[in-house]
Amino acid sequence: MPLFSQSNSLILNAIEGTSHKFGAFRLWGSLGWALLAVASGPVIGVMGIERLWIVYSIMMLLAIGLAFTLPAGGAPAAASQSGKAPVSRSSMLRNWPFVLFLIIGLVLSIPNSINTTFVGLYIAELGGKTSIIGWSAFFSSIFEIPVFLLLDRYLRKNVRVMMLCLAVISVLYALRWSLMAVAESPMHIIFIQALHCLTFGGFYYIGTQLTALLVPAEFRASGQAWYALTWGGLSGIVAGFLGGWMFDRFGPQPMYAASGIMALAGVLGFALLYRFLREKATVK
């Protein structure tokens, strides 16, 4: 899990002051995830699951070797030598817009983690085959690529604009979970999963950029770690217990209906945060 936050921090540090954009690098993760989703089934069929350690070992050794070629990234060091007064690490937790962003994001990310964990069981319950689960993951990832490129081109690096965008993404999340609650076939789920590119893709991109704006440059890696902790760590823990209990006790449809309600809470939270930031800017 720390790889996500550290790689995001490295990308942002390395491209700062250049013409490169974050999405142009992050899209390769989505491409790899999408290709893995459709390739894993045939690979397991040919090699057998008992030999997958060979694939893991080769890919891990390649990744370790390529890691030595990565740039160091010097933006935080440059910022710390700019003559500004030193900033303590605890100041991040006193930065209330950042803290509220993490809390609201946690509420929004729990349903996303629930879906990631239980969508395969939902497809199987509706009579879907294992291959459909792979295609569901493929369609949920491959369309992230154009979303990242569009955000690179058109998203304004402004805190208030990003908060408003997150409120809109929360609306799309509510729509997505509401559609999942009434899905009647595995094919319905595959099409609904295409909304993943706008919901998860948009939130991940904007959240990463927003964290970089809200957190001092010298603590950028720590800020990204906090963001990853709430979005992928704590949300996964809660989703495992809460989602498993709801799926077992009530079934998938009520579970997704509850997820839609949590997404609406995210809409309200980001809308209020955007309004407060706008009023604060107006007073100034």
Q: Are 259 and 111 in contact (CB under 8 A)?
A: yes
Fold of 2-76+90-283: Growth Hormone; Chain: A; (1.20.1250)
Q: pLDDT digit string (tens) for 123-176?
A: 888 888 777 777 777 877 888 889 999 999 988 888 999 999 999 999 999 999
Q: Quote the pLDDT of residue 74.
A: 59
Q: Supply the pTM of this predicted model.
A: 0.83
Q: Do residues 18 and 142 touch, judged by C-beta distance below 8 A?
A: no
Report residue 114 as tokens. 């629930």
- Supply the DSSP symbol for 233: I
Given a cut of 90, whether residue 252 has pLDDT beyond it is yes
- Interatomic CA distance for residues 29 and 42, integer angstroms: 21
152-158 own/partner pairs: CB under 8 Å, 24+ apart: 152/21, 152/22, 152/23, 152/24, 153/21, 155/205, 155/206, 155/209, 157/209, 157/213
Mean pLDDT of 256-277: 94
pLDDT category at 37 given cuts 50, 70, 90 is: confident
As a whole number of angstroms, the distance between CA 59 and CA 143 comes to 24
Could you read off the pLDDT of 188-231 as tens digits, one per residue? 998 898 898 899 989 989 998 998 888 887 787 788 888 888 88
Q: Which residues contact 197 (CB under 8 A, 6 or more apart)?
A: 140, 141, 142, 143, 144, 146, 147
Task: Quote the percentage of the chain above a pLDDT of 70.
Answer: 91
Q: Domain locations in the chain?
A: 2-76+90-283
Per DSSP, which regions of the chain are E strands?
A: none
* Separation in Å, CA 176 to CA 58, 90, 118, 132, 267: 37, 37, 15, 19, 14
pLDDT of residue 1: 65
Model pLDDT, residue 85:
52
pLDDT at 42: 79
Residue type, 273: L
Q: CA–CA distance from 261 to each of 102, 108, 140, 244 (Å)? A: 18, 10, 22, 17
Helix (H) or strand (E) holding 93: none
Tokens 């998860």 locate to 200
Class of residue 161 by CB neighbours under 10 A (exposed 0-12, middle 13-18, buried 19+): middle
Per DSSP, the residues of 188-232 read HHHHHHTTHHHHHHHHHHHHHHHHHHHS-GGGHHHHHHHHHIIII
Structure tokens, 175: 């729509």
